[in-house]
A and B are shown apart, each in its own frame.
Chain A
């Protein structure tokens, strides 16, 4: 028996629990709304968070390029980076998967070999968290950058007229 197979078997339940753990970071009324509304345009945050969680879970079970992983992380972190979360709070959801796996596979993990594989898998999750720092920083840096660009753009017509045009891209 290998851990990967077990995680694939438990995919539906673990993805659901991981998503729930992520939703738990929002107030009660918001969580209820996140669960209820299925339209992706009427419930954009839940849609984006779910998309990220599903993508990440699938990606962790196979060889995945770093860029793809970052893409899934971005789905979640880009939202959290502008909401009321500190950096640690915004990234905490990544580590929560460890506990969920240990709970969900508690019986199976008594097996020594599976336990070893689980430790290895948890290292992957740690790696994912490191990538998460990068994504979080990119989002926050982007905020600073676009704030500066916007201030410039406010008078860009005037600057262009004065021959002081600048590249905003």
Chain B
């Protein structure tokens, strides 16, 4: 008889995980669950160490001969420079409060994604080389040698953390796991271990306009096209200026909003709003990327890319900076920017030219999030809005990790939503999945590469699970967000877990609802979809004519 394994044998032999210690379980790199190694050219463009051709599933990663010394020296250096790292290594008591808070653990079921255990991957090496007990007792003291396998494991798991900081929220010590991941990735970078999606984006942003490496004129062309699209749909042609010296405000949006749908519609919303207000603003072709992929892999690279903001603001002589609907851009601006570059004394404390509101919270870094700006406009009754133009939407709102946990932007987008949607069209997801407890999209921090899809579907599952709930219960058909990575990855996540769910930025809805005095009759939204009642009215007329 043929030797076919029975289901029970299958479960006994393969299906059940081997009962090994976590220290001995090696990651298995198979397609779908690892990120590609970068092309050497990107590293060369930004002067990053050890550019070379290598491949993740290969046994030999062609590490520099002294890789171990480099890593340990890098660790020692960072222990001196980053008090957060030292605290993280020494004060975590492994209470487990974070264990079940990570979306990657919840979606993958892999215990090494419990933040406490993911941290242990780094900490065990710290103990071995920097603590007496670990040096003497080794594994007994939870210490282990730094080997190539350990390095590979770091790579595998440090890229399964999306730096969302949900675990930090529950940590009694407030250990910032995102920063630990960045520092871990910095160490990997120091021996030339990076990923293609991040390095290509970083190098492109460094040398050109945005993450896909567009040229300034392609960028200008694209935004001019949005303005024309606005005119086609609304009859209003937004006037856009580029690199205009003396403008009051410099506007910076994430590049996802000018090349990729559905972010592009959000960009049209920005343009319509600014035109409506007659805002004295300009767009830069130099500081043209709100996103900062550098920050995902190192503080140093984050700083290099972010420097464009202030440099350009200074060159153009603007008073303050307004930023688009981006997620991690706001953690960078809110928590790192002034530390990196010093106080921006050449800028003024942001003040809305329309309402006179002074944005005191931005006194230090001089940047305002567009949701704060727009909510203030609505609060002062400065916008004429017709919510019926969004009546085809039943919306729920996904709080982006960085705007919520790093900035506390909870009310502003909701306030806008309530004013641009008809009453009864906005539905919240369950409380333990929104606001500061929000679940990550699963693809933040530079892991949104297509080759990583299978892994991303795991990480995004807790978010999708909550979306499905409001989809099934209330018929919600749109998921709103204020982050460009969200707009890029949530359509994919939803297509797998909650088919029929569309993704939208909040300013797309503002663009739909804004009523201009001299606009043409609106029959569609910014995506060319019929407004409620419009298609039907025409049909009814058609039928009447037929009769």
Contacts and interface: CB of A to CB of B under 8 A. Distances in A.
A139 B258 CA distance: 31
Contacts of B264: 156-157, 160
B450 A147 contact: yes
Contacts of A89: 10-11, 14-15
B347 interface: no
B495 A154 contact: no
B8 A41 contact: no
A155 B465 CA distance: 28
Contacts of A95: 6-8
Contacts of A34: 109
Q: Which of A96, A151, A158 neighbours the largest number of chain B CB atoms within 10 Å of its CB?
A: A158
A96 B11 CA distance: 9
B496 A27 contact: no
Contacts of A82: 454-455, 457-458, 461, 496
B229 to A, nearest CB: 9
Given A33-B100, A89-B15, A161-B225, A150 B258 contact: no
Interface in B243-296: 258-261, 263-264
Interface in B84-110: 99-100, 105-110
B524 interface: no
Contacts of B433: 41
Given A37-B100, A86-B14, A92-B11, A157 B260 contact: yes
B110 A25 contact: no
B7 A43 contact: no
B65 interface: no
Contact of B259 (A41, A83, A145, A157): A157
A137 interface: no
A85 B458 CA distance: 13
Interface residues of B, number: 55
B221 interface: yes
Given A92-B7, A92-B15, A156-B261, A143 B465 contact: no
Interface in A137-167: 139, 142-143, 145-147, 149-151, 153-158, 160-161
Contacts of A85: 15
Contact of A149 (B19, B461, B495, B497): B495
A17 to B, nearest CB: 13
Contacts of B99: 33
A47 interface: yes
Contacts of A44: 106-107, 461-462, 465
A63 interface: no
A130 to B, nearest CB: 14
Nearest to B462: A44
A151 B491 CA distance: 12
A150 B492 contact: yes
A155 B450 CA distance: 14
B71 interface: no
B465 A156 contact: no
Contacts of A27: 17, 109-111
B488 interface: yes
B492 A96 contact: no
Contacts of A40: 465, 469
B491 A153 contact: yes
Nearest to B107: A45
Given A41-B432, A143-B496, A146-B492, A154 B260 contact: yes
B8 A96 contact: yes
A71 interface: no
Nearest to A145: B495
Interface string B493-536: 00111000000000000000000000000000000000000000
Nearest to A97: B7
Interface string A69-88: 00000000011001111101
Contacts of A67: none
Nearest to B455: A82
A158 to B, nearest CB: 6
Contacts of B225: 161
Contact of B212 (A94, A143, A153, A155): A155
Contact of A78 (B212, B430, B497): B497
Q: Which of A27, A39, A82, A139 neighbours the largest number of chain B CB atoms within 10 Å of its CB?
A: A82
Given A42-B100, A153-B488, A25 B16 contact: yes
A113 interface: no
Contact of A24 (B16, B458, B488): B16
A127 B444 CA distance: 41
A156 B264 CA distance: 9
B15 A25 contact: yes
A96 B16 CA distance: 13
Q: Which of B6, B108, B457, B458 neighbours the largest number of chain A CB atoms within 10 Å of its CB?
A: B457
A11 interface: no
Contacts of B466: 41
A157 B261 contact: yes
A86 B497 CA distance: 20
22 contacts: A29-B114, A33-B99, A37-B100, A41-B432, A45-B109, A82-B454, A82-B455, A82-B457, A84-B110, A89-B11, A89-B14, A146-B453, A149-B491, A149-B495, A150-B489, A153-B488, A156-B264, A157-B260, A157-B264, A158-B222, A158-B259, A161-B222
Given A143-B457, A147-B492, 7 more contacts: A24-B16, A25-B11, A94-B7, A96-B11, A143-B453, A149-B491, A161-B225
